[in-house]
Structure 1
Amino acid sequence: MSEIPNPAPTVLLTGASGVVGQAVLARLTDCTVVCLTHSTPVPGHRAARVHGDLTLPYFGLDRSAYQDLADRIDTVVHCAAVTGFSVDAEQTNDLNVRGTESVLAFARRAQAPLQHVSTAFVARRDLALDGYGSARPEIYLDSKRIAEQAIVESDVPANIVRPSVVIGDSVTGRISQFQGLHAIAGALLKNALPMLPLEPDTRIDFVPQDLVADVIAQLVRTGTTGGEYWVTGGPAAPTAERVIELGLALGRSLGLSLDAPRFVSHDMIDRLIRPVFIDALPRAQRRRFDDMLAMTALFNTQEPFPSTYGHVPGVTSFSARSLEDAFTTSMRHYARAKGMVRPSEVAA
């Protein structure tokens, strides 16, 4: 591992419109940031933008523009990725694998270190992740593993950052796009979660987006490379039973009438629930159910993730209580955004 301080570097940021990308952009106000954008604009920010496509040679730029961009960049932060479980293999690999190879080629041309955002769930090699209808989490995870391997085997100085499930900002709860865990907890707040296919003592590992962004921003500022950083709750991650308790407590404090879901096995869902209730649903609803089921499968272990982000200078670890507070804050924001309670009650 090496550390070469680089004050106020110029950063090429991919995926700036996504959950992690937007949070990183907000943390790099002391840097010059160039956002490589494709189809989705970066809302509410004055960072410089270059329209490009990670899946095309030279990002789809002409060679002189590509070289000019490389000459300007000191550090690359790669957040862009397909993260959905229902996206086909070709599209997933196109961005997650070939897109990462394209970013590596650019970083090599720019002689710039790379901060690559992967996922902590690459560690879930012992789980059977197929058989969830349209949801294919194994395609996503395999693509992230292949991308990591390409980075490890390259000559580009790099870090691999592996967050677990990302929730909203720990202070405001805000997030650019609600994620799978929001959908599960949201169903709880709507009293539409009669059962949950998890063991009560399964760890639900999540981290607030500002923590992930702080880790990446500090790695950019210090110029640190050659590390793998697990940005996870680890042993501090709450159990599924505790997450349900927190959700019920929040909902009831907001005046919602809620019932506690029953913990059941995945096998029960497959044998009894899917054939009778799920298969008859419209396609979009079946897809949402399959995605939620696949996410619970990813959590389905009592073994905690590694948690090593505390080794990054200037980043403070989150305690179990801090993670619980961040979850409650994130779900309070979800309730307000979805109009589930009056704004005055949610803000209280």
Structure 2
Amino acid sequence: MTASTRTLVTGATGTVGSTVVRALRAAGRPTYSVSRGGTEGTHHFVWRMGEEEPPAELRGSWDAIVHCVADTRFGLPDGDAEEANVRPLRAALSLAGPDTHFVHLSSSFVTGLEGDITSPSRDAYRNSYEWSKATAERLVHAERDNADIVRFPIVVGARADGSLDRYSGFFWLPAAMCNGAVPALVAEEKGLLDMVSTDDIAAHVTRLLDSGPPRGHRLSVLGRGDDAQRVGEAFDTVLDALNDWRAENGVTPLDRLPYVTPQQWNRFYLPFAEEYLDRMQLLKVTAFRAYQGYLSVTDPFDVTVRVPDTRDVLYRSIRRWAKTHETSARRVPRPWRA
């Protein structure tokens, strides 16, 4: 790396992108950033990627581009998911020259139901998020002779204190446990729930950029693999973190929710319950159905970069969520009644 090296990070105010920007700047790499909203500042620009032309300051040669833009909502219509996860990538690729080190951040779940990204069929994926992220990976292969693709599973906060710039995705869990959004945990209790810290992703991206562009397409898969927490262990960690925080703040502790396997829930419980649930209860149950597949993973990811243990990171992240979302964390769930 030289003093004149220029790096651009997209999605720079997101959960992962913000940490990547801080890590690269801390490493002494001149880093520019871009996001859809917010306030422009020194080396930071607002750009609705894929919807408008880039600011003049972003045109020209880039030594490296780290593409972090992602909308992780599972329930988006296909067209909206494509606009959120594919069109911004096209815009980022348009800024890259032949010598640009391009790093695309993806997802461990991108292989969908068939175990790879080759199928363009929507039916090969659990949801529009997976399908759009697979489309994005295929686009990188088609448009670039060389690039780094980085996949990672569920993201939690910083290793030191669990902090995140934005709590999204997995953090539906503590909110749901506090507000009583679901009557049971529809999951495989012995399944694997792989997680990484934002620090793990940022450190790996920094190493990739320091090593220089790959000769072809280089895939990194971050995670714990067969050392990942079991679903039951992870949920117990979440419950312990919430109840420790609630005890310190004089709030009634939460009860441990029962486990129901997805097969039991969908075949027996839900068809019976639907007749008796009110509209709001049905909306909650339907919304959380999208997470069943991710809480029922029994085969570990084939990781190429094994990150340190994440149990304590999950505990710190949930406590940090409670501290920054105190109103939600103080709620007392009401029992479900027909």
Secondary structure of the equivalent of 1:41?
coil
d(CA) in 2 for partners of 1:167, 1:75: 26
Q: How many residues align?
A: 307
Note if contact 2:194-2:224 (Cα within 8 Å) is conserved in structure 1.
yes
Specify whether residues 208 and 8 from structure 1 end up closer, same or farther in structure 2 by C-alpha distance, changes over 3 A only.
farther
Q: What is the TM-score normalised by the length of structure 2?
A: 0.81
Shift of 1:183: 1.6
Using structure 1 for the length normalisation, give the TM-score. Answer: 0.79
When residues 61 and 181 of structure 1 are mapped into structure 2, their CA distance, relative to the original with a 3 A threshold, is closer
Contact 1:180 1:292 in 2 (8 A): no
CA distance in 1 between counterparts of 2:159 and 2:112 reads 26
Residue 299 of structure 1 aligns with an amino acid whose one-letter code is: L
Counterpart of 2:137? 148
Q: Does the alignment pair 1:41 with 2:38?
A: yes
Q: Would you say the 8 A contact 1:180–1:295 is kept in 2?
A: no
In the alignment, which residue of structure 2 is the partner of 1:302?
298
Say if 1:338 and 1:278 are closer, same or farther in 2 by CA, change over 3 A. farther
Q: What are the superposed Cα offsets for residues 50-77 of structure 1, whole Å, 9 maximum, x if unpaired? A: 3333214xx5147xx3xx6343421000
2:253 counterpart of 1:262: no
The 1:42/1:72 distance shift into structure 2, 3 A limit, reads farther
Distance 1:41 1:173 in 2: 23
User: 2: distance between equivalents of 1:79 and 1:199?
Assistant: 30
2:70 is aligned to 81
Offset from partner CA, 1:132-175 (integer Å, 9 cap, x none): xxxx9521111111111121233342100001011111211111
Structure 2 gaps of 5+ residues are: 116-124, 331-338
1:73 aligned partner, one-letter code: W
C-alpha distance in 2, partners of 1:338/1:139?
Answer: 28
Give 1:249's aligned residue.
240
State the AA in 1 paired with 2:224. Answer: G
Q: Percent same amino acid at aligned positions?
A: 21
| Cα displacement (A) at 1:126 | 4.7
Unpaired runs of at least 5, structure 1: 128-135, 311-316, 342-348
- Secondary structure at the residue paired with 1:184? helix
2:152 corresponds to which residue? 163
Which residue type is aligned with residue 11 of structure 2? G
* Equivalence map 1:272-291=2 (5 Å): 272-273=269-270, 275-276=274-275, 280-281=279-280, 286=283, 289-291=285-287
Question: Which residue of the partner structure matches residue 319 of structure 2?
Answer: 332
How far off is 1:19 after superposition?
A: 0.5
Structure 2 counterpart of 1:51, one-letter code: V
Does the 8 Å contact 2:148/2:220 carry over to 1? Answer: yes
Q: SS of the counterpart of 1:148? A: helix
Closer/same/farther in 2, CA of residues 11 and 238 from structure 1, 3 Å limit: same
